[in-house]
Amino acid sequence: MKKKVTIIDIGSGNILSIKRAFEKWNAEVEITYQKEKILSASRLVLPGVGAFKNAIDKLNSKNFCELIPEIKLKEIPLLGICLGMQLFFDESEEFGKFKGLSLIKGKVKKLPISSLNRERLKIPSIGWHKLILEEKAFSFKAGKFFKNFNTQDQFYFVHSYCARPKEKDVILASYNFGGHLIPSIVAENNIIGCQFHPEKSGPFGLNLINNFISL
């Protein structure tokens, strides 16, 4: 039986590439913003590229915040990708201060401009990075999300802002950015966020997508 995945349509430019990535695993994928379909989904994906304010305004215009309690109550696995992950937090400082979805406590802040050696860092951060996993990552969802994960695997990032969770326990993986550890995978209960783009990260990203389907 095909696994059903529902992508929340917020007009993001990377929706079709995400759809194709899930379809590689024979998933039945639907792109929608209909309340009934979102709440009846078995897996949800919140994509995102662009500015925080534009995305949160779109979600607010569709009254998405009203669906959050039901999504949490039903424990529907929800995967946020790149900006989609940042939207999970309380607030972003991108081009001002804007409230997020408050699914995970914390703020979204600009990437550091200097390394720990005081060298200038290039922003946005664009490129491939290995993930540094926390020990607790392998017990998350009984280790299913990191099945077949290798510490040498690299994932594709492109971002200027990053999440700063209030509680460190939600951080499952980070990457090294000039000596700074940047949260790359966060999770709390049914909520999972990836700062990188798994749909653009070759076989390693596709493996994580398959693992999400299998949760």
Q: What are phi and psi of 191, to 5 degrees?
A: -100, 125
CA distance 184 to 196: 7
Determine whether 43 is exposed, middle or buried from the number of CB atoms within 10 Å of its CB (0-12, 13-18, 19+): buried
Would you say 171 and 186 are in contact if contact means Cβ atoms under 8 Å apart? Answer: yes
Out of 129, 162, 188, 199, the active site residue is 199
Determine whether 134 is exposed, middle or buried from the number of CB atoms within 10 Å of its CB (0-12, 13-18, 19+): middle
Out of 129, 162, 194, 197, the active site residue is 197
Q: Is 82 a catalytic residue?
A: yes
CA distance 64 to 29: 20
CA distance 179 to 183: 13
The secondary structure of residue 196, as a DSSP letter, is S
Q: Is 23 a catalytic residue?
A: no
Q: Is 167 a catalytic residue?
A: no
CA distance 175 to 128: 10
Out of 23, 82, 93, 134, the active site residue is 82
Within 10 A of 4 (CB to CB), how many other CB atoms are there? 16
- Residues tagged active-site: 82, 197, 199
